[in-house]
Chain A
Amino acid sequence: MTNTIADIEDADVILVTGSNTTENHPVLSTFVKRAKQFKNSRLIVVDPRRIKLTEFSDHWLRPNLGTDVAWINGLMHVIIAENLHDPEFIEARTTEFEALKAMVEKFTPDYVETITGIPAGRIIDAARMYARAQAGAILYCMGITQHTTGTDNVKSLANLAMLCGNLGISGGGVNPLRGQNNVQGACDMGGLPNVYTGYQKVTDEAARKKMEKAWAVKDLPGQVGLTVTEMVPMAHEGDIKAMYIIGENPLVSDPDLNHAEKSFANLEFLVVQDIFMTETAQLADVILPSACFAEKDGTFSNTERRVQRVRKALDAPEGAKGDWEITSEIARRMGYDMFYETSEEIFEEIARVTPSYAGITYDRIDSVGIHWPCPDTDHPGTPILHTAQFTHGKGVFHAIDYIPPAEQTDDEYPLYLTTGRVLYHYHTGTMTRRTEGLNERVPENFVEISAADADKYRIEDGGKAKIASRRGEIIAKVKVSEKAVAGSVFIPFHFAEAAANKLTSAALDPVSKIPEYKVCAVKLSKAA
């Protein structure tokens, strides 16, 4: 996030899109709801489902799946046409405004209506509301990123915020909500194919030299590595021969699971390090049992870039070990002297090699976490990014045209499917499905459909339906729900035995390599 969670309550207008906040980031949603109910903020929700937050919103825009660039361009069209943009901010802080202006020219409210299904009048209303805010905050999540156009969607939201001067101020910002607890940290720590810690590029010779020195090694590779969505097909082709998977269960979370399973099975050697026998672990050659968060010391970095302590409260079950200890043991056995006594020792090394973490110590975050960047030990941390300037000088407007989603409905597959999470479960369910109370609330997979579609396809609430896409089929319980809008259905992806990702498309965003989980075409029938 460019801003903090608490900062949401300072926004005059909050625009939430592609985030079912009350279920996926419940405590963060309380800030949104309080701002709306008690602080006079206004709320715009843009989401294909009638999610809980729509009950609180001033405007709910319901776009067709995969049409985000179109409605965002539509808002910008109205804002520029009505002169509601912020010329001073644009002049002082950004470039390429003219290109943006030319691009959004054709996105008139009427044209946008034909693509998105959002009535033109509502686009105009929402554009005015957002643009007139002193401070307008944008919150988004996977509903924006999990598309073949995910990168475009994100850039479009940044365009919108810059256009109205809503960056670098309290109550503003473009705020991605991170799904898993330490996504931010995994990225910050260089758990990505192109960067070391703190986003120092592997292609940058100076960064490479610095790491070589810090780690006392030679010849660090300088070309960008593979993303997970590239590794899987390469495993299938036999170009990736071995994988070491730590604490992830891609066999439920990956798109197009049938293909992923064959790929992992094709590996010569697979090591899985986890706390449970997951679906992925079943395919492993070696399984290494690890400790869970309550059994170790360390830090997590939350979605607002706040680095916070994790503390050991329990002894791990006899026989399980901490993740970094296991990794270090493997490293030593491969002839590299990787040895740490404590997590704190590792954190000190992180601070030494990572400018944005340089000023953070366990002592300093003992009671309250610090937001990076924090360049030295006297620095208080940075709750709001881009206050004076953007990291790379001027903010660039990206002129982006609308591209339809990779997969379209047709006569055979007439419904759009979108996937996501529910409040009571988490990711692939390995933890929450082992907690009885949570399981009691939502014991099995379901497909959420509108009453109209239920009638049309003759399926009953509580009955079983077969859902098929061009890649596979699953059976799930039918839940007729007000949340669904006719023409699209929703399935959570927590349930291995009826995995939604057997249906989803592995088409990738060309830049971020994020699969298009949020749109694919399916058909529905009553299960025998």
Chain B
Amino acid sequence: MDDQKIIINGNSFSFTAGETILDVARRNQIDIPTLCYLKGASPTGACRICVVEVKKARNLMPACSTPAENNMEVQTESPAVIESRRMSLQLMLASGNHNCAVRGSDGRNWTAFQLNVQDQDASDDLCPVWGDCKLQSLAYRYQVSGETFPATGNKYPMETVNPFIIRDFSRCILCGRCVQACNEIQVNNAISIGYRGADAKIIAAGDRPLKDSDCVFCGECVQACPVGALVEKDARYDWRPWADKKVRTTCSYCGVGCQLDLHIRDNRIIKVSGTEETPPNYGSLCVKGRFGFNFIHSEDRLTTPLIKENGKFREASWDEALDLTARRLSEIKDKNGPDSIGVLTSARITNEDNYAAMKFTRAVLKTNNIDHCARL
């Protein structure tokens, strides 16, 4: 069975049963653009951006959901394919408040459009995700703008009532990625596509706000959304991909150890995203990992050593506090023996920090009275 072959753009590739055209192409570094396809979830075929021409097939076929077949001949960028992709993109761009450079690229009625969006958005900026939008980059790639088709109105108001996520239906292209992410990746089953046809909308059960639904604010949908329809509340109009640096690290909450990217500007975390395609979490996070970082910038952070005198704390220099600590520990050790001292290290700090505490306890204090609160 291993001589199953598929021909893509004139070159022959082997595949195993069950692989889609997209799988084979990606494995061989052939770029087929996708929009609604979400790795790990079943394909929905909603956006038709990935269409390819298959010899002898009557219609263009979506590469993300069409299984590879023996001797299938596929063209990934034929004129018909390009025309179809352009058309799909133009329809999407016309469908909402896509006020990025793409929308206005031919100058017609831009001003009126932009003013209208600004009004709905309460911001005079361009789209909150411009520069990091799949629709925008595909529009560049296929050189289309949003003005070929008449703009369709914006039916549903923005939802801003929960602390974490803004749902901006005016920018939703109904690709369904968020629904797949919620139901098939996180399996939280909080959202689905509601209403029919032109009224379609992504809804939580009963079309309620997320905060009153089964949503647990993991933000998987936000990370999956290819456009500006789902955006982190605090980062909206603050985060800009070109201005921020990204630092990969490990979540500091639970023992899963999710890999995440901190988006940083001016020594502040603007937002957090899950590191894609990397174990253990493959891009997923939970509400704590994704939204639980404000404490870092809290006013309550301790910033100076404190020494208690007569029942009250006073500020002290590092030298004074460290000297006092070393002196008192030495005195108590000399007077009462090493085992009169106990150290609690932490399940919250790094291995290196723990090692230093462990070495200090045993090599300097000379006691084995060290533990941490893992049991608690």
Contact = CB atoms under 8 A, between A and B. Distances in A.
B300 interface: yes
18 contacts: A5-B280, A180-B254, A180-B255, A197-B358, A211-B362, A228-B372, A239-B340, A241-B336, A242-B329, A248-B372, A269-B328, A287-B302, A292-B252, A302-B256, A310-B249, A321-B318, A329-B322, A333-B326
B370 A27 contact: no
B349 A244 contact: no
Contacts of B295: 276, 292, 430-432, 434-435
Interface string B271-312: 000000011110011111101111110101111111110000
B248 interface: yes
Nearest to A229: B375
A437 B160 CA distance: 13
Nearest to A315: B267
Interface stretch (B57-65, B71-79, B138-146, B182-190): B182-190
A254 interface: yes
A441 B215 CA distance: 12
Contacts of B336: 241
Contacts of B259: 308
- The range of chain B's interface size is 35 or more
B281 A424 contact: no
Given A215-B359, A281-B302, A302-B280, 7 more contacts: A181-B255, A182-B347, A190-B362, A309-B249, A324-B357, A334-B329, A437-B233
A405 B351 CA distance: 35
B106 interface: no
Contacts of A184: 255
Contacts of B340: 239-242
A192 interface: yes
Interface string A410-434: 0000000000000110100011101
Contacts of A245: 343-344
A206 interface: no
B302 A330 contact: no
Interface of B: 163-164, 184-187, 216-218, 233-234, 247-259, 262, 264, 267-269, 278-281, 284-289, 291-296, 298, 300-308, 313, 316, 318, 321-330, 332, 336, 338-360, 362-364, 366-376
A81 interface: no
B322 to A, nearest CB: 5
B362 A247 contact: no
A331 B360 contact: yes
A336 B359 CA distance: 11
Given A202-B368, A513-B375, A34 B350 contact: no
A302 B255 contact: yes
A350 interface: yes
Contacts of B357: 191, 246, 323-324, 327
A513 B234 CA distance: 43
B303 A25 contact: no
A284 B343 contact: no
B364 A336 contact: yes
Contacts of B284: 27, 30
B306 A441 contact: no
Task: Please give me the 4 A-B residue pairs with the lowest Cβ-Cβ distance, nearest first.
Answer: A302-B257, A225-B368, A298-B350, A178-B255
Contacts of B254: 24-26, 178-181, 426
B299 to A, nearest CB: 9
A124 to B, nearest CB: 29
A294 B372 contact: no
A313 B264 contact: yes
Contact of B302 (A30, A274, A315): A274
A406 interface: no
Contacts of A350: 351-352, 355
Given A219-B366, A228-B375, A367 B348 contact: no
A353 to B, nearest CB: 9
Contact of B358 (A25, A196, A430, A441): A196
Contacts of B163: 436-438, 440-441
B352 to A, nearest CB: 4
Given A228-B372, A275-B302, A328-B356, A438 B328 contact: no
A244 B255 contact: no
A334 B308 contact: no
A378 interface: no
A403 interface: no
A220 interface: yes
A185 interface: yes
A336 B361 CA distance: 12
A216 to B, nearest CB: 8
Interface in A291-329: 292-304, 306-315, 317-324, 326-329
B110 to A, nearest CB: 36
Contact of A189 (B306, B354, B364): B354
B256 A28 contact: yes
Interface stretch (A91-99, A103-111, A341-349, A482-490): A341-349
Given A26-B287, A240-B342, A310-B249, A181 B352 contact: no
B341 A240 contact: yes
Contact of B366 (A196, A221, A239): A221
A293 B289 CA distance: 12
A231 B352 contact: no
B151 to A, nearest CB: 34
Contacts of A334: 326, 329-330, 364
Looking at A286, A304, A317, the one whose CB has the most chain B CB atoms below 10 A away is A286
Contact of B253 (A226, A271, A426): A426
Contacts of A287: 302, 305-307, 313, 321
Contacts of B286: 26-27, 423
Contacts of B217: 437, 441
A56 B183 CA distance: 13
A183 B255 contact: yes
A387 interface: no
Contacts of A303: 255-257
A12 B329 CA distance: 55
A288 B342 CA distance: 17
Interface string A494-512: 0000000000000000001
A228 B345 CA distance: 10
A426 B288 contact: yes
Contacts of A276: 295, 298, 300-302
A285 B298 CA distance: 24
